[in-house]
Amino acid sequence: MEARIGEQQAVIARLEAELAHSRKVFDRASAAAQIGVWECELADSSLRWTDVVYDIFELPRGSALDRARTLECYPPATREELERIRSKAIEGRAGFCLDAEIVTLRGNRRWIRITASVECIDGEPVRIFGMKQDITAEKTATLRLRTMAEFDSLTGLANRSRFQALIGGVAAEGLEASAVGAVMLIDLDRFKDVNDDLGHVVGDDCLKEVGRRLSLLALRSDCVARIGGDEFAVVFGPQTPHEAVMRLGAAVVRLMQRPILAAGRRIHIGASVGIAFSRDGRGDALYGHADTALYAAKAAGRGTVRVFEGQAGDAASPSGKGESRA
């Protein structure tokens, strides 16, 4: 009997050693991949985390966990979304995956990927568990690529690709898809002389200052873009009153008449502005209409604002009543 007990104890010890080794291997793999495991008991909301999750949230390993305190690490909108999909998952006995931004205990911002599944006993959900992974590097790389693809590297404004996507009906920040109220095109006067006489370095400094001025003038909900060498654009949402667009056009002309300091020189350029208003919230035809108005502004002596007044189906031409001189 004693021999048999000794054999059983040896088997138990061997299994415990194998389990400890497996846990160590898992912990190492988890730490290397920055993936932590968590679970939450639905009865009392008690939490259990592996060390990686503690590290992600920058909490002392093994410290007491409080779900309400943990939720405070998420911005309010993210917190509401997390609670919504969590409740839906529990109700449907399903899982979910969510990328969320957090602010750690030390005040650092990180992105994490949360995956979760619901465990049931006799058909009733008893706990929710899953993994949390630090994806900050992935999000940063994605943002960098998006910035390169959609924003002008010189001025930091939206580029032509983003501008065309927006007026073509693709959703962007501040504007709904296919909801464009007006397009304003801005072409710098005498800018070619700056490049030819003073060089492209001075010219680039001028473009940066133009971009800065336009950003200060435009409303927060408007998209300001550099769509060509010395051509800029502003896309307005449908909620922007026509009078506000016209005032901004006149303000652009006045502001661009002020000298720009570049390379120790006072550079004098100027701007012409063409505006087209949408009648149905669609922006796909507005670029051509605004370009027609811009051409009329430059033909009128530059430093002017012109508004496209052609009716749908008419030849693109600005009418006299829509013209205004800054």
What residues are labeled active site? 230
d(CA 189, CA 210): 12
Give dist(CA 157, CA 226) in Å, integer.
6
For residue 157, the tally of other CB atoms under 10 A from its CB is: 25
- Cα dihedral across residues 147, 150, 156, 158: positive or negative: negative
Alpha helices in the chain (DSSP H): 2-33, 51-56, 67-71, 76-92, 136-150, 160-167, 191-198, 200-217, 242-256, 286-299
Residue owning tokens 């969590």: 86
Q: Are 178 and 281 in contact (CB under 8 A)?
A: yes
Q: How far apart are CA 257 and CA 123, in angstroms?
A: 73
Taking alpha carbons only, the member of 196, 183, 195 closest to residue 279 is: 183
